[in-house]
Amino acid sequence: MQKLYINGKWTDAGSGETFESYNPSTGEVIDTVQAASSADIDMAMSAARASFHDWTVTNVTERAEYLRRYLYALREEKEELAKLVTRETGKTLSESAGEIEDALNLSDYLVGEGKRFFGYVTPSTMKNRLAYTQRCAYGVAALLAPWNFPVSIIVWKMMPALLCGNAVVIKPASTAPLTAGALVSFGEDIFPPGIVNLITGGGGSVGKQIISHDEVDVVSFTGSTEVGKKIKNAAGLKEVGLELGGKNPALIMPSADIRKAVNDTVSGAFGVAGQRCTATSRVIVHEDIIDAFKPLLLEKTGALKVGDGLDPGTDMGPLITYGQVKAVDGYVRGAIEAGARPLCGGEALGGCYYSPTIFDRVSTDMQIAREEIFGPVLCLFTCSSLEEGIHIANDVPYGLSSAIYTRDLRESFRGTNELASGIVVVNNPPGAVEAHLPFGGVKESGIGRSGGIEGINEFSRTKTVYIDY
């Protein structure tokens, strides 16, 4: 049974309540997890606050060395960790391994940033005055992570928060608490007590109390736009970073390498069973190549093997819960009733599995074309020009990531300039992520950025210093 981790110790929850973590591929119970009470949350916050001062006055290069030791521990455990991620989330083993590599890359980058924790010096308007800025921690950081990338997203939050001198309280999704527990356990003998704390339980109860807690100074959340809006309202004057939903388009122009665009579209749409904010959920194909593109798309999709993520032959694993299967199927039934045509899939396969699904005859005002489904469903559109394609791509409430496929330099730059998203990718799927570059969206896809210098900015404030001499 997994306990809470508070002030450097695995601690029994005062509530006496538990919940179970399931393998969505098989339905088996992996382990039982304790659910935190209000008193437990208070204890974690107090521990974080009490440890904050000594941690934040530790030289930043020394904090970076703690991160280096954690990086080495994570690297040593990556193979077993990947198996746990696959068991707990259902994603394929290669997807789990790739996620862990993203976490390792970010950690490696941040270790170096400990020696580049820059402010800036600027001339003062006053005589005999030195003026400069320096980065400072907020204090206690509440990190609320989703289940679909339970390693990389926690690490992408925890590592910059710690580097900046914050103490952290981690709240993982209740569908992936064991991976979070493993991540915390790797740091048991590395980080001082109270610097890293783990609280588990339901988002509607435990998560809400954490966000509104008086000891919390900064909140970082990754999840749905609906929940993100509630968090922003509940956080009051706390600093808030939100990585929210997406409805990501891939625009395919006549000069594109069609076969590559097809392969990328299938992997972008159905990787992690479509359960990622950067999934390709809309593909917009120019009318001059639609007749060549569509059959290849259906052939490639039809060849996907759906099954247990631990099976090396599996291309797409299950959805996270049976409830998510019903939600996805509800979108599919609604789309059919609205007049969209399913070209393949569109059915539950038993348990938590759902077939890879493609729709055409989709209008931009349909629910399936505008809302994040978080499942293996792709909408196919046709456009007659670059202008129309960009208009269709931008005609949603979200703006996380976009892609354009073209060999035309002019079209490439128009796409990067005019596609309304935080990330634009040319000739690759819209899910590109690199540790040293910012990741985040516009519109209802969130506020703030993770990764790169911007990710450090999210967990540090600027202090201005004047020295008269």
| Three state DSSP letters for 213-247 | CCCCCEEEEECCHHHHHHHHHHCCCCEEEEECCCC
How far, in Å, CA of 348 to CA of 325, rounded? 7
Fill in the amino acid letter for 453: I
CA angle, corner 286, sides to 284 and 287, nearest 5?
120
Mark whether 243 is an active-site residue: yes
CA separation for the pair 428, 417 (Å, rounded): 17
The DSSP letter of residue 437 is: S
What contacts 53, CB < 8 A, 6 or more positions away? none
The amino acid at residue 39 is A
Q: What amino acid occupies position 271?
A: G
Distances (CA, A) of 73 to 9, 67, 184, 351: 18, 10, 11, 36
Find out whether 180 and 208 touch, Cβ atoms under 8 Å: no
For residues 273 and 144, give the distance between their C-alpha atoms in angstroms, rounded to a whole number. Answer: 22
- CA–CA separation, 144 vs 153, rounded Å? 9
**Is 383 designated active site?**
no
Q: Report which of 371, 364, 265, 355 is spatially closest to residue 307, judged by C-alpha positions.
A: 355
The CA angle 355-307-319, to the nearest 5 degrees, is 60
Active-site hit among 164, 277, 352, 379: 277
| Degrees to nearest 5, angle at CA 326 with 268 and 364 | 55
Strands 401-405 and 423-426: parallel
Euclidean distance between the first and the last CA atom of the chain, given in angstroms as a whole number: 61
Q: At what angle do helices 60-76 and 93-113 cross, to 10 degrees?
A: 160
CA atoms of 329 and 347, how far apart (whole Å): 7
- Report d(CA 4, CA 241) in Å as an integer: 25
452 sits in the region (left: phi over 0; alpha: psi -120 to 50; else beta) called left
Cα-based distances in Å from 442 to 118, 167, 180, 244, 305: 27, 28, 28, 10, 34
Q: CA torsion angle for 45, 49, 54, 56 (degrees, to 10)?
A: 100
* Among 95, 243, 372, 444, the one annotated catalytic: 243
* Residues identified as active-site: 243, 277
